[in-house]
Amino acid sequence: MGAVPAEAGQEPAERGSTPAKSPVATGYGGAVSSVDADASAAGLEVLKKGGTAADAAVATAAALGVTEPYSAGVGGGGYLVYYDAASRKVHTIDGRETAPRSADKHLFTEDGKPIPFAEAVTSGLAVGTPGTPATWERALRAYGKKSLAENLRPATRLAQHGFTVDETFRKQTAENEDRFRAFPATVDLFLPGGKLPKVGTTLKNPDLARTYKELSRKGSKALYRGELGRDVVRTVRKPPVAKGSDRKVRPGDMTVRDLRAYKTLSQQPTRTSYRGLDVYGMAPSSSGGTTVAEALNILERSDLGSLSKKAYLHRYLEASRIAFADRGRWVGDPAHEDVPTEGLTSQKFADSRECLIDDGKALKSPVAPGDPRDPEECDRGDADQAAPTPYEGRDTTHLTVADKWGNVAAYTLTIEQTGGSGITVPGRGFLLNNELTDFSFVPVTPGVHDPNLPGPAKRPRSSMSPTVVLQHGKPVLALGSPGGSTIITTVLQTLTNHLDRGMPLLDAIAAPRASQRNAAQTEAEPKLMNDPVRGQLEGLGHSFKQNPEIGAATGVQRLGDGRWRAAAEPERRGGGSAMVVRPTGG
């Protein structure tokens, strides 16, 4: 959220004013980068008190649950990629939400037809079993030095004393106002006095402060085995709709048994070699790691640094187009689907697909998927299986943290749509996710197996792409972004801007973006739409449509002298916040 001066007479930083915001910071002792200054300050506070990157990631995420409640919170889930400096190994935690155990492939159909997407979005039907509290607890048990209570303290204080409403928060509230008004608890929390919050005012969330205190005392079992969980289940099964509302809000089928059965997963990260670096990402149920890895492998043979801007963007867009074709055919929840992760991330498969790129002509979408299980030379795939990429909600958040020991956390978390389901758990201070809308409602290509159909306790496919890059076993940089399926292209473009085109990390993050996801048109931000290179790419057959804003990346980088550099978006979503423990400048 963008920094907004506090109202005159507001209490000092410890008690509610907005910290100063900068998109870049350099120094020693650790670093935090997030979309919000209050959240970054919470993480920095924990680092200064001897916390690890895991401790600071939890503190930052909990604070984002206060100041970015439409993007993340207790009612959602996410993925953590963690570099452990002691072992020089990268680990992951899959905290993705799950469907109820009663769910089947017909979850979002009625009379054999998909229900309207807008109706699914605002419903109990779309709410997955939350994974965020379990993720926090698992991360701290494995990599933390402090208790959950200690790490929740800054966010609890922030919820009690409030944060300063900025333009981004007011705009997001306004965009959701109509559906928010269907739920009295949401109105009470985010439309104080029944009106949109004014920029510069302070918004408090005492209910969330109490929820954080309960989690501090009882741990995640407060949600998965306690009264907090029972409140969530009641809200899902009978959404508390305002009297007189004409909005159709379908109930969900979550049970306390679903909560009790929920588990985070620890699995091997994806890994690929690129330009002598090791790039680690999130394996399925997220498609982020496999798709970024495949696209990088496709680009490995291209000297992107020496290409013209036109040639570079053409190759980047085509690699992304092809990788998304393969993502759609093969990636789903590996507990339910046979996902060929090793094949998708192999150089052999990428080489079989790279030959599709013609430097003189753009491919036509949708491109057919190849077969990573048995790559053929110049694999053009089966045209009957070609399918466009379905829509994913784009309001997620990402934070990146490093500590004085050299540990690094890249953590992407979400409640899916901006404002999630729109349903606030009464008395608890947080919105429920609508993550199950990331499933395919019906097969994307009729008659072709879709690995992303709903199923019992299944995790919907995600595009979240927390990424850590190592060289000789030590961190070079880590990054990630919100943005639905544009997360993958944002991370890919930022990596190639930095690693191949030589841009400083902040400039690589700030550069205008284009996103090609096996669609007829490439989405591009205004600065690219107005750049002469657009016409040059159109001459190759590319077609563009404008997207006002793609992603909102944050990252940290280890410099050669041992310092950390934190970098965040300078402008998107009002600009992000980068902080270090002991700033040095330069």
Q: What is the pLDDT of residues 279-326, one digit of tens each?
A: 999 999 999 999 999 999 999 999 999 999 999 999 999 999 999 999
CA distance 553 to 504: 14
pLDDT value at 46 more than 60: yes
Whether residue 34 contacts residue 184, with contact meaning beta carbons closer than 8 Å, is answered with no
Q: Helices 309-330 and 347-354 sit at what angle, rounded to 10 degrees?
A: 120
* Known active-site residue 235: no
Between the two ends of the chain, the Cα-to-Cα distance in Å is 25
Cis peptide before 366 (omega within 30 of 0): yes
Question: Residue range 42-53: average pLDDT?
Answer: 98
CA distance 8 to 271: 51
Where does the pLDDT of residue 380 fall: very low under 50, low under 70, confident under 90, or very high at 90 and above? confident
CA distance 209 to 153: 9
CA distance 20 to 18: 7
Mean pLDDT of the chain: 94
The per-residue pLDDT for range 162-205, each reduced to its tens digit, is: 999 999 999 999 999 999 999 999 999 999 999 999 999 999 99
Judged by DSSP in three states, 277 sits in strand
Return the pLDDT at 11.
30
CA distance 15 to 376: 62
Backbone conformation region of residue 273, classed left if phi is above 0, alpha if psi is from -120 to 50, else beta:
beta
> Strands 77-84 and 408-414: what pairing?
antiparallel
CB burial of residue 81 (10 Å; 0-12, 13-18, 19+): buried
pTM of the model: 0.95
Query: SS3 sequence, 366-402?
Result: CCCCCCCCCCCCCCCCCHHHCCCCCCCCCCEEEEEEE
CA distance 531 to 468: 31
pLDDT value at 14 more than 60: no
Return all residues near 543 (Cβ < 8 A) that are at least 6 apart.
520, 521, 522
pLDDT value at 7 more than 60: no
Whether residue 199 contacts residue 165, with contact meaning beta carbons closer than 8 Å, is answered with yes
Task: Identify the residue whose tokens are 């679903």.
Answer: 258
Active-site residue (options: 396, 397, 400, 522): 396
pLDDT value at 381 more than 80: no
Return all residues near 259 (Cβ < 8 A) that are at least 6 apart.
129, 223, 224, 225, 229, 232, 233
CA distance 451 to 112: 19
> Strands 522-524 and 544-546: what pairing?
parallel
CB burial of residue 570 (10 Å; 0-12, 13-18, 19+): middle
pLDDT value at 268 more than 90: yes
Where does the pLDDT of residue 2 fall: very low under 50, low under 70, confident under 90, or very high at 90 and above? very low
For 420, list phi and psi in degrees, rounded to 5: 55, -135
Nearest to 344 by CA among 373, 383, 376, 378: 373
Q: What angle do CA 213, 77, 424 make, to 5 degrees?
A: 60
Instruction: Identify the DSSP state of 89.
Output: E
CB burial of residue 348 (10 Å; 0-12, 13-18, 19+): exposed
CA distance 189 to 180: 10
Return the pLDDT at 392.
61
Question: Residue range 252-281: average pLDDT?
Answer: 97
- The domain segmentation of the chain, as residue ranges, is 13-22+38-265+397-438
